[in-house]
Amino acid sequence: MTPDTPNTAGTPDTAGTPGTPNTAGAAGAAPDTAGEKVLMKGNEAIAEAAIRAGCRCFFGYPITPQTEVAAYMSKRMPKEGGTYLQAESEVAAINMVYGAASAGVRAMTSSSSPGVSLKSEGISYMAGSDLPGVIVNIQRGGPGLGGIQPSQADYWQATKAIGHGDFHMIVLAPSTVQEMADSVFDAFDLADKYRTPVMVLADGMLGQMMEPVVMPGRIAELPDKPWATNGHKGKRERTVANSLYLVPEELERRNVERFDRYNAIRATEQRVEQYLVEDAEIVLVAFGACARIARSAVGKAREKGIKAGLIRPVTLWPFPADAIDAAVRSATAFLTVEMNMGQMVEDVRLVVDGRRTVGFFGRTGGVIPTPAEVLDAIERMDRGMSGDDCSAEPEHMGGAR
Amino acid sequence: MADQLNVLLAGFGGQGILFAGKLIAEAGLIDGREISWLPSYGPEMRGGTANCSVCLSDEPIGSPLVLEPDVLVAMNQPSLDKFIGQVVPGGTVILDSVMIATVPERDDVTIIELPATRLAEDAGLKGLANVVLLGRVLKETGFCAAETLDKALQKSVSPKRQHLLEPNRKALSLGAGG
């Protein structure tokens, strides 16, 4: 890449007909017709949207169920004049993102759970150097190599401590293929705006499934990055991308400044979707693929006369505490539904702060909960509240029983 | 037409299960319906069973995973054995009788045995048993208009493989007429 290209997105008129639809398999289309609904896999939608958001460097390493992101990028990126590179490892890939980002280029890497763990050091370095970048995690079951089926077991990792040190990153949780596209587009904007790594946290179901999607239009103009280390030719102050500060007071000052930014993010970027929450007695909280299942269960509960609703966090960090807090006033109880052993439920409990019962239902290891199971959990909770069934515990573990 | 049609297609990897499912999804897209297409992925695709869930609906789709299919298309014995018990009462099972020797008992579903592999081969359409079966799905459920499915087919056959369009059309009508 040349030093002066980072701030210009691929010019729309060079687009032509990139990626002639390879519709023979599941490879989907590379639609350049704005506004047209096409069928695409979530993984492909992420890749195409990233390119439209001005991503010009992609560094990846294959891992199921994420590989289509890299496969799509390998075909499309060269046609956009960008760089696609299959790195020698996940560690290398994230450090390449660090390098590209410090030069001011919109850069991305993607992986699945075990591979994301390998990226954790690099993400911490990016946060410490205030570098924007997008990391996609198409989660699979864990820990360890785990499995390859869909999971949400990396919630803690993504929202609490993906790497060492005092930092956060913004985490977006799409729930449809359309949102896979939209969230990656937003992720680049948020990353640049706050100079922070941003993660799109999805899972194998969202990555592998096809749904209709309308691709966002190409970004017209990218933000200026005066901090970029893209060669100053003696015409301006030298810029440095660095996370090493040996003087404690200096490091402290940097961290405090960064947390001021986090406070701004918490205040302005919480995103949430609410479904029938207004009059709900039992409010479900679920994100990503799991929220789709929870929404079906809410519909079934309503048919049975149980006033259920759903809060779907779209940003996992910042956690949409305001929406949960508002629901405390009207709801009698909360039920968190996740594809893990109970992770986000802790954040719900932090906000609810003992004012209401917070239950949990989950399946883990790659097992996808069914709407019927979630409905059962809602009904148990409903019975528990009315006192008919004293055995109804706030903890409802699906597959583990 | 029902509000929601959940189709599960299953067979060996390579039989064209995913492609047949994609045709249903493309047809739904043309009709402006809500659709989802979810493949099985992983080691079971190598020589074992592959399957694909397709939902067509007028409402937003919750779980794209079809656990209780209205229609099961089974292209081999293990797939039929695995999934026939999950078909909703009143549902339809369409199977390739060339590939399947024994059909488990179920008297609350319609079971259609079609020698799709042989029909395709006899008509010079080797490898298109999947599309023959899809033709039968269309006939049994009317999930879309025949013209819509033809459009979906045109969209799904890549420009480089246009010579495959007519054989696919023949396979569809073979299944629908059978």
Q: Which domain holds residue B20?
A: 4-177
Q: Are residues A204 and A285 both part of a single domain?
A: no
Confidence of residue A385 (pLDDT cuts 50, 70, 90): confident
Long-range CB contacts (within 8 A, 24+) of A373-378: A373/A398, A374/A284, A374/A293, A374/A294, A374/A296, A374/A297, A374/A337, A375/A297, A375/A300, A375/A301, A375/A304, A377/A297, A377/A335, A377/A337, A378/A282, A378/A284, A378/A297, A378/A298, A378/A301, A378/A306, A378/A308, A378/A335
**Distance separating alpha carbons of residues A344 and A320, to the nearest angstrom:** 11
* One domain for residues A213 and A144: yes
Q: Which of A349, A358, A362, A343 is nearest to A400 (CA)?
A: A362
Q: How far is the alpha carbon of A300 from chain B, nearest alpha carbon, in Å? A: 11
Number of domains present in the structure of chain B: 1
Considering the domain boundaries, does residue A16 fall inside one?
no
Using the Cβ of B78 and the Cβ atoms of chain A, whether some distance falls under 8 Å is answered with no
Mean pLDDT of chain A: 90
Answer whether B18 sits within 8 Å of A20, measured CB to CB: no
Instruction: Concatenate the DSSP letters of all residues of A93-129 into one string.
Output: HHHHHHHHHHTT--EEEEE-HHHHHHHHHHHHHHHHT
Residue located via tokens 């509240």 = A385
Judged against a pLDDT cut of 80, whether residue A168 lies above it is answered with: yes
pLDDT at position B46 is 56
* Residues in chain A whose Cβ is within 8 Å of chain B: 20-26, 37-39, 64-65, 148-149, 204-205, 208-212, 292-293, 295-297, 299, 368, 370-371
What's residue A397's pLDDT? 53
pLDDT at A20 over 80: no
CATH number at residue A340: 3.40.50.920
Query: Distance (Å) from the C-alpha of residue A262 to the closest C-alpha of chain B?
Result: 33
Q: Which of A30-34, A179-183, B114-118 has the lowest mean pLDDT?
A: A30-34
Does one domain contain both A129 and A54? yes
Q: What was the pLDDT predicted at B13? A: 84
Residue with tokens 């890497």: A109
B177–chain A Cβ distance below 8 A for any pair? no
- How are beta strands B92-96 and B110-114 bridged, if at all? parallel
Domain range for A331: 273-397
Report the number of distinct structural domains present in chain A. 2
User: Touching check for B64 and chain A: CB below 8 Å?
Assistant: yes
Same domain, A69 and A162: yes
Residue A28 lies inside a defined structural domain of this protein: no
Position A166 in a domain: yes
A200 and A333 within one domain = no
Residue A194 scores a pLDDT above 50 = yes
Q: Which residue of B has its CA nearest to A296?
A: B62
Model pLDDT, residue A235:
87
Q: Which of B90, B85, B170 is nearest to B123 (CA)?
A: B170
Taking only the tens place, the pLDDT of each residue in A311-335 is 999 999 999 999 999 999 999 999 9
pLDDT bin (cut points 50, 70, 90) of residue A6 is very low
Same domain assignment for residues A50 and A131: yes
Residue B72: DSSP 8-state: E
Check which CATH number belongs to the domain holding B125 and give it: 3.40.920.10
Is A45 in the same domain as A151? yes
Shared domain check, A339 and A261 = no
Question: Any residues with CB less than 8 A from the CB of A390 and at least 6 apart, and which?
Answer: A384
Domain match, A130 and A190 both: yes
Residue from A70, A60, A68, A64 nearest A27 by CA: A68
Helix ranges restricted to H, A280-370? 288-303, 321-330, 344-352
Residues 120-159, chain B, touching A (beta carbon < 8 A): 155-159
Residue B143 near residue B167 (C-beta atoms within 8 A): no
Is there a single domain that holds both residue A104 and residue A204?
A: yes
Residue located via tokens 């067979």: B11
Nearest residue to B38 (alpha-carbon basis) of A110, A162, A260, A65: A65
Min Cα–Cα distance to chain B from A301, Å: 14
A181 and A328 belong to one structural domain: no
Picking from B39, B64, B161, the nearest residue to A26 by CB comes out as B39
Select from A17, A20, A22, A23 the residue whose CB has the most chain B CBs within 10 Å, as the one to mutate to test that interface: A23
CATH code assigned at A142: 3.40.50.970
Q: Which token pair is A163?
A: 């790497």
pLDDT digits (tens, 9 = 90+) for B17-58: 999 999 999 999 999 999 999 999 876 555 677 899 999 999
Whether residue A264 sits in one domain with residue A167? yes
Q: What is the pLDDT of residues B76-86, one digit of tens each?
A: 999 999 999 99
Q: What is the pLDDT of residue A32?
A: 55
Q: Mean pLDDT over residues B95-122, rounded?
A: 96
